[in-house]
Each structure stands twice: as C-alpha cells, then as structure tokens.
Structure 1
C-alpha cells in the first residue's frame, strides 16, 4: 500500500512529502558542489550513478530544485541538516516590543498593525530580523 502523501518528482524519483533526504545524500550533494558541480550536474550524477567516483545513494533521483534548496540552506547556515518539521517558532515580541505596541495603541486606538510595524522599525525598537508579523501584532 502506497503512502497517500508520496509522489514522483520530475526525474521519476519517489519522495514522501515532509520526509527529508537522508544525510548521506545531502552530504554527497555538498561534496559535489564543492568539487565544482552545478545543481543540474549534481542532479544528473545522482540520477545516473554513472560516475565511478559517486557511490550509489539509495537509488534516489533528486530534482534540481531539491539540490538547489539544500545547497542554499548549506550556504546560508553551514548545515546540511533539514529544518525542523513542525513545532513552534520562538516568540519574537519581547516585553519591550509588547510594551511599545501597547503604548502606540493607547496613543492612537485606531492605528493599523502595519503602521505599528513601521513605527517599530523607524524608531529602532525592532530590525527587519526581529519585527513581529502583522498577525502577531493583532494578537
């Protein structure tokens, strides 16, 4: 019986949504990139296993997009590990930010959340890296 969340990628490789590639495959992708291979080449190498230097990796066909995503995350974070699946994100709104939002609301009860975000940025309370979303401001 086949998993209802599985599919076939553009290269005929079977994948299960939400299930990350094995670390061995991710490591091989990074090694091939370090040796100068482009994402499309890496995808082809993993697909054909024709290159004698490449070990067979669970017979997986890995799409160009998947290779690019793994390499992008590796260059950004230095890790081959997939991002966490599920769970909750850390709370962005510190007590100082919550206090400022409450102050803005007291000063102008009809202020929009996007205006609050603009003020938090312009007044240096937050940066683009830690600004709360409009939906979290509305909470």
Structure 2
C-alpha cells in the first residue's frame, strides 16, 4: 500500500540504543538531504525481499543526497540481540546506517504498523511518500528522483 503525504513533519529517531554502520544520527542533522527511513526486521521475509532495492538506492543515490536509514524493529525476541542484528546486517551486505529500535519508540513515533514500511522525507524534514508492505519500488524510486532533483 502506497500513499503520499504532503508537509507532515517527520518524527525524530527516538529510543535508539545502537547504531550500526554509523554514529548516532538525527533528522535535524540530516536536514537538506533526502532521507528514506525503512522499518524492517531481519527475520521478516518481506523485509529481506525489499533489501535489494534499498541497497541499490543507497549505492546509486547516496552521492546525490539520499540517506537510507534502516530502523530495525524486532518482531521476535531473538531479533532484539544486537549481535544478531549486526550479523544480519553483515550477511545481507547492508552498508547504510541501521538503528536498533528494540523499544519501538521510533516505530511508535511514526505510527508504523507493519514490516517493511518506508517513509521518504524531503530536504525540509517532511514525510512526502510512504510505502507499507512489499512492492512499490518503482513509485518509491520515482519519488526519490523527484526529491533529489528539487533544490
């Protein structure tokens, strides 16, 4: 399910205990960049299937101003273990920042309801496109390109 939202301020990352592949990030410090927040869990089949698109966008658009942030929110107790998350990030070849949201604080701040879910944030810190569940890659990529072209 895809929807576009206009001018809704993106919630800040909240309750993140561990950052993988990055020092701690805030949306305030990422202002001026296009940010794609992806809620996922490493044992979620649909999440795993969506990783190739996310990794491709990171490779293709990072130098053009896109920051992909995976927010790992556990579905099962074994997904709460930081070492398990780090092993999964390595196994899947994820090079972009991953925030560990064990307490569901960022999940709740976004009002998120399912894995995977994507929130695309413009350079002004507003959520302008969302994708809940699998699919929608073409629409998400088109929205990324539009936002990156806008100055």
Do the structures match in fold with TM over 0.5?
A: no
In the superposition, the TM-score normalised over structure 1's length comes to 0.30
Structure with more of its chain in helix, by fraction: 1
TM-score by length of 2: 0.28
Larger fraction in strand = 2
